[in-house]
Every structure is written in C-alpha cells, then in structure tokens.
Structure 1
Amino acid sequence: MSDLVHSLESMIRLASNPVLRTKAVDTVLALVAGGFHTSLVSYFMHRDLFSALMKYVHDVHSQSPGATSKAFVVVGVLSSYNKFESQNVYQNRLEDFVNEDTIRILVQQFAKISLSSRDRYIEAQDDYPPPWNLNSTLTMVGLRSLSGDANKPPPLTEEEVKVLFSSLPDYDASSILSLYSFVHANKLFAANLFNSPLDKDKLAPFSTFLSSTSYISHHAYRGQRQSTYAVLSLLSLRIMVEDTILAKKMSSTDSKMTVRLCRQRAPHLPLVTSPRIPATGILDLCTDILSHNLRKKLDVQLYGLALGIILRVITHLEQYKIRLQHHWAYIWGSLISLMRFLTQYASDLKYLRYIHRDLCSVLANLAAFCLSKGDGFLPDPASFDDLFYKLIEANEVLIKFKQAYCDSSSPSDQLNGSVEALLSVSTHYHNLLQAQHGKKTHQSPAAIQKVIKEGYETLNLESDQRFGEWERWRESNWKAELKKMMRVAVEDARLLALQ
C-alpha cells in the first residue's frame, strides 16, 4: 500500500499528462473518503501529499479549472482524519500554508462550487421576481402557450420541487468541510475569501459563499445533510466574523457587494438587489435562518450559531461606533418570535441538549445587549424605539420564557441576568401604560410610542458588563458534533469520487 501511495503522490506532483494527474487525484479521493473509517488513510498520513496536491492545483487550474475542486475536497478529508485523537500532518500544513497564488486559486474554485450549488436551488424554484417583458406578462395571465417560453419545459410541480430540494445540495458540497478546515487553520485563506474578486463583472467569492449558505440554510430543516452543510458554513462565517480585521472590513462601505439571499419561503425580508455592506447581508442571512427552520425538534446548533453571529456583528458595530443603516425591526421581530416559539413549545424543547447554554442564553444576551447599547450602533432613535415597543408587546412572553428556561437556584447565571434586564424594561413601561391609561387591554401604537419617549427619563436601564460577551471558536467544545458532520461530508466526498 505504501508503494501505491508513493506512486499516486509522484503522479499528482510530476506527471506530464494533466489527465493522468487528475485521475490520480480522483483515485486518492476514492481511497481516503471510502476508507476514512479504516486504517487505510494512515498511509496517506505517513506520506504527506499536501505539497503535491497544491502543486497540482497551481499547475492544472488554467487547463482544467473544475479539476481542482476534488483536490480541495481531498485536503478537507485528510485534514479531518483523527484530528482530535492524534497529530494530523495536513492540519499542520494548512496552518503553515502561505502560497497566496494557490490560495487565490482555491478560493476562486470554491466560489464557483458555491455559485453552482446556489444555482441548483434557483433551477428548482426561481425565487426572484422576473424582469418585466411580454413573455412574463403572457405567462402571468395564463397564456404561456403564446409566449416565447412555450417550447421550454413547464415549471416543476410542487411535489417535484420538494423531491429536488431534498436531494440538494449536490455531493460537491463536501467542499464546505474543506472550507471550514482552511478558514479555521489559515487566516490568509479567510482574508482572501473575503477580499478576492472572482472575475471581472462577476460576484466576489465572499458574496457567492453568503448566497449559497443562505439557500442551504433556508432548507436546513429538510434533513441531516442540509443541516450539516448549513452548520459548517456558519462555523466558517463565525470564525471570519471573530477576526477583528475582517469584521471591520465587513462593516465598511468600501466593501459593498451584491448578495443574493434566498427568498423561497415566507416570511421575506426586504428585497435588496443593489451592492450592500457585507455586514447587512450577514445579518439578513442569520435573521432568515431564525424564521425558516422552526420546528419542535429544533436545530440548536444552527440557531445558536445564527444568533451568535448576529451578536458578534453587533458587538463589533457598537465597539467601533458604526451606525449601520439596516432594517433592524426585522431582527427585533425575529428575536421575539423565536422567544415566543421557545415559550410555546417549552415542554418539548427545554430538554434538548445545550438549548439553555447555546440558544436561550445567547438569545437573551443578544436582546439585552441591544437594549443597553443600542444607541451605539443603531442609525436613528426610531430603530431603538421599535425594540422597546416589541419588548413591551412581549411582556407576557418574557415572563413565561423566564419560568420555562431560567434556573432560580442560579441568580447570577448569565441567562437569568439577561432575562431580568429585559423584564425590568418591559415591566417599567407596562406600569407607566397602566398608570396613564388605566386597565385598557389594548393600547394604540401612538400611545405606546409616547410612553416610550416619556419613560426614558425614569428608566433604570441595567448595563451588565456580561451583556454582549462571547467566546472565540474552539473546536474542542464541539468534538462530538464535528465528528458527526465530518462523517456526512466524507460520505458525500466518497459519492463525489464515484461520479
């Protein structure tokens, strides 16, 4: 077996025929993905193929751009092998890799995979309004047979769309494991993912990454594969958002880019088709996740990551006093809706693993931080007032949320502290409303807005230093979860090798 691995390494590195080199990469992918749970992969640990694979990527990309994608997947699979049990040579090589030319090639290749993955979702259901023309008008009024689209295949039925969505993303989504491995180990790769343009007049790699992540996470509830790739994508995004330099660029008007986000299911966020600050695209992506994957068997990892990314973006904005123009009301609405859902189905949800630590605590912490520090990043008083308005409306929800998820025996717990801060504000305004308007069940929005403005003067807004706190990503906290996700991605890599 050692001789075979040596021969494959030599072919990948030195063979003069690009087709032969590509077949050698295909063979390596089939061996390492197919034998991932056996000792077979140990031969590839002893014979380091990393430099050969990177040379192959550098040499072959101009002749056969698509061929480099499997080399990218191979590195992701090999760098994941027994990474928590022993030293992994490929993990070390990822950390030390500084060849920026090759990194750019890999970034551009991943961007093309992301674009292809997103387009498969759009082929199943085009979610953006078509441009107005005669054909679209005839189709809209039921006269498709008279339009220029009459000879095209008819749109898929609802059942066909459902089946297709259940099969997406394709097997090349296993490259998302490679993306995570690179972003986690190599800051230069993460920087190039954000900074690199794809090609002239085409989308930037970071834009295509956000777009494909939006479509995948929009359908994360459909199965383990979809959830796995949504979570791996969000982990990569979380690591990038935690990088101070990248976070600054993501919040800058100099970094504007066009980001197509999924709109295949209601509720919809406002449609933005013009170039936008990346941070607003990230906030919309995560807000959409909160709205479109609600179910009794809640994906705690997915929701915790989405909330955590919103928290990291907002704490960065507040730290550098960046007042971001954004539709903040939709974020407030999503946070309250999630809290209402958690309360309504508390009997089913509160026993889910890590839901208190990874979801409820982050949710309450995020809301409390926005309440105490909102004047540092919100663009206008109206956005801040709207948060107060929604908290006042959600007073009963907050009380029930506290009863369901807060531990009365640990009053110093962060979750307890955050919920108490939210309740104190909501109760303060409820008392003011009752004092001014008696026991009227319903108050007009105008009356509530007036009370909000007047109540600022008497409001004792708690500002706990722990509001907005978050920990940097550590793989050791997610060992079991990452192993499960690796198994899913490696199985897809095996099937990719057979195509």
Structure 2
Amino acid sequence: MGLVITQALSEYNRTNEAILLALYEAVHLNRNFITVLAQDVRRKSVSGLTLDEKEVISSVELSLDADVQTSNLLIAFLKYSSIVMQDTKDEHRLHSGKLCLIILTCIAEDQYANAFLHDDNMNFRVNLHRMPMRHRKKAADKNIPCRPLVCAVLDLMVEFIVTHMMKEFPMDLYVRCVQVVHKLLCYQKKCRVRLHYTWRELWSALINLLKFLMSNETVLLAKHNIFALALMIVNLFNMFITYGDTFLPTPSSYDELYYEIIRMHQSFDNLYSMVLRLSTNAGQWKEAAGKVTHALVNIRSLQIVLFFLH
C-alpha cells in the first residue's frame, strides 16, 4: 500500500484527490497507520518518466537520485504537500491542500505518530518545495540537514504561513495550519521533548500573519472571523511563554523568544488596540475580539516587565 501511494504522490503534475482520500481514511481509521507511513520505499529511476513528467519534477526543483532513493511514505507526502499547498488559487489544489492539512492534523493528534516524528534516532533530509521569493536565497539541496521529521512538518507550516497572505485569504487552511503547530507543541510539552529547531522562523511568521490580519482588517472581516485565527496565534505565544521551559532546547531560546516579542512589540500593541476597540463596541465581533483581549494579558505583562528590566 505504501509503495502504491508513494508512486501516486510522486506525480506532481496533478492533484490526486482519490489517493489523498485513501490516505486520509487509512490515517483516520487505522490505529496502526504509522507503520505504513514509516516504512521504507524505493523510488525508481526517473528515466521511465515521460518528458512532461520530467519537466514538472524539474520545475519544482525536487531533485531525486538518478538511480534510487530511500525514503518513506511520510516524506513523500510532505514533499507532495509542499507543492500542492503552494497553489491554492486553483480550486482542485485548494481542496487537495485542505486534505493534506487534515491528514497532517490526524498525524499530529496521534501519540505514536508523534513519537516517530520526534525520534532523535530517526533523522531524514526532506527537500520541501519553497516558493521562489525575492527576499530569500534558494537553499542548496546539500545544505538541508538531517533532522527528525517533525522539523519538516514545522517547516511546511511556516512556509505556508509566509506565502499565502493574499487578497483571497484561505482562512480555513490557515486555521488548520496553526492547529497542526499547536498539536505538535502540546506533544512536546507533555513529553518534554526539547526540539532543536529554528523557532524564530515560526515566531516571525506568526507575527507577520498578525500584522497582515490587522492591515487588512476591513476587507477580511467582511468574509472571515479573523479573531478566531488571531486568538490561536496569541495562544501559541502564551504556550511558549508559560511552558517553553519544558520544550525549548536551551535557555538562550527563551532569550530569543523575549527578544522577538520586544522587537515586535508594536504589532502586539496594535493588535490590542484593535481588539479593545471592537470588544467595547456593541457589534458583531464584540465577543470574539474580547477573547483576544484577555489572551493578550500574558504578552502585555511580559512586555512591561522586560521594558523595565532593560
């Protein structure tokens, strides 16, 4: 089964929703699904592909070994997701991206899957597709480190966050994306897993997302409850502040967290002003904005303390 799904997911030129549905059913209903996701598979040489298939694989710059590459189904799924989730303007890919995030949510909820994702003895080099952007350099394949697979999942979530702040805002996908991050952090907190990850990239992405929500408040509120997403983001920071000592790798990680909160204090101040304004008015968003106001107490208190310490 794993090999069949892997071969289907390797066809990057189309979204294979039937395969994704089958994978979702396997993950959702089969308690032993992690054994399928973790099994090794062998990729055949790309020489048997058609010209169009080669061009598609080349265009997304996911290099495969010319002869054979050892991988597993979860790695194939993460690579596939990194491609599908980039193009959400297409309706079919939007649905496929949603399915990918639902599958990742199921994985992040499972204790055994989390144990596999966070296993320090199971390190992989996962070459995710990254959308070309002018302000960042293209990462060389050989520079991708071998890390626990949870790092690739977090990379995928961060990549989605920073590349989809657009007019046609995919709110549902953003909510699911932040939920995946939250579930992974809950496991790390519960099991005291100190993951060596570049957390600053996640914090920066989340703060930039808050800034986007505030900058486009009027347009987005006409279609979405942006306060539900803002509350989830603020709660993630509250989790880092309150419980970070159980899962952040080093004391310096806490310093980086505090530095980022102080550096971006204006964003949190602006968010507080926005939700306070709406929570004190008898409008549609009074209750939703009020929840964000209360959730910001931790961050605002920390900002005051750090201000006087410095």
TM over 0.5: yes
Residue in structure 1 matched with residue 37 of structure 2 by the alignment:
194
Shift of 1:413: 6.0
1:108-187 superposed matches below 5 A: 108-117=3-12, 120=13, 170-187=14-31
Partner amino acid for 2:72? Answer: A
Query: Secondary structure at the residue paired with 1:203?
Result: strand
2:84 aligned with 1:216 = yes
Give runs of ≥4 in structure 1 deviating > 4 Å.
267-272, 408-414
2:272–2:296 Cα contact (<8 Å) kept: yes
Inter-CA distance 227–284: structure 2 relative to 1 (3 Å threshold): same
Structure 1 contact 265–292 (Cα < 8 Å) conserved: no
**Is the partner of 2:74 in helix, strand or coil?**
helix
**1:336/1:226 Cα in 2 relative to 1: closer, same or farther (>3 Å)?**
same
Taking the aligned partners of 1:385 and 1:171, their CA distance within structure 2 comes to 42
Q: 2-side partners of 1:378 and 1:273: how far apart?
A: 22
1:226 is paired with a residue whose SS is: helix
Q: Name 2:51's counterpart in structure 1.
A: none
The residue aligned with 1:318 is: 189
CA distance in 2, matches of 1:213, 1:255: 21
User: Once the 2 structures are TM-superposed, how far is the Cα of residue 206 of structure 1 from its aligned partner?
Assistant: 0.5
Deviation for aligned residue 1:277: 0.1
In 2, Cα distance between the equivalents of 1:393 and 1:269?
27
Provide the residue aligned with 2:251 in structure 1: 381
Q: Which residue of 1 aligns with 2:297?
A: 420
1:353 aligns with 2:253: no
CA distance in 2, matches of 1:352, 1:116: 35
- What TM-score comes out, normalization by structure 2 length? 0.80
- Structure 2 unaligned runs (5+)? 43-67, 281-285
Offset of residue 281 of structure 1:
0.7
Q: Does 1:391 align with 2:268?
A: no
Deviation at 1:335, TM superposition (A): 1.1
Q: Which amino acid aligns with 1:379?
A: P
> What residue identity is the alignment partner of 1:192?
T
SS in 2 for 1:352: coil
C-alpha displacement of 1:116 = 2.3
- Higher gyration radius (CA): 1
Aligned residues: 274
Give the match for residue 54 of structure 2. none
What stretches of structure 1 of length at least 5 have no aligned partner? 1-104, 121-169, 434-450, 452-499
Task: State the match for 1:364 in structure 2.
Answer: 234
Letter in 1 for 2:161: L
CA contact 1:173–1:229 (8 Å) conserved in 2? yes
Alpha-carbon RMSD? 2.4
CA contact 1:360–1:405 (8 Å) conserved in 2:
no
Give 1:261 deviation, angstroms. 0.7
1:240 is displaced (CA, Å) by 0.9
- Aligned residue number for residue 429 of structure 1: 306
* Contact 2:178/2:232, CA 8 A, preserved across alignment: yes
What's 1:16 paired with? none
Conservation of the 8 A alpha-carbon contact between 1:242 and 1:312: yes
How much has 1:202 moved relative to structure 2? 2.1
Offset at residue 174 of structure 1 (A):
3.5
1:411/1:254 Cα in 2 relative to 1: closer, same or farther (>3 Å)?
Answer: same
Spell out the pairing of 1:267-306 with structure 2 (5 A cutoff): 267=136, 273-306=144-177
Q: Does 1:330 align with 2:201?
A: yes
Note the alpha carbon deviations across 1:425-471, whole angstroms, 9 max, x for none.
123333x27xxxxxxxxxxxxxxxxx3xxxxxxxxxxxxxxxxxxxx
- The answer to whether structure 1 residue 232 and structure 2 residue 99 are counterparts is yes
Question: What pairs up with 1:10-25 in 2 under 5 angstroms?
Answer: none
* Counterpart-to-counterpart distance in 2, 1:427 and 1:233: 41
**Identity, % of aligned positions:** 19
Instruction: Report deviation, 1:354.
Output: 4.0
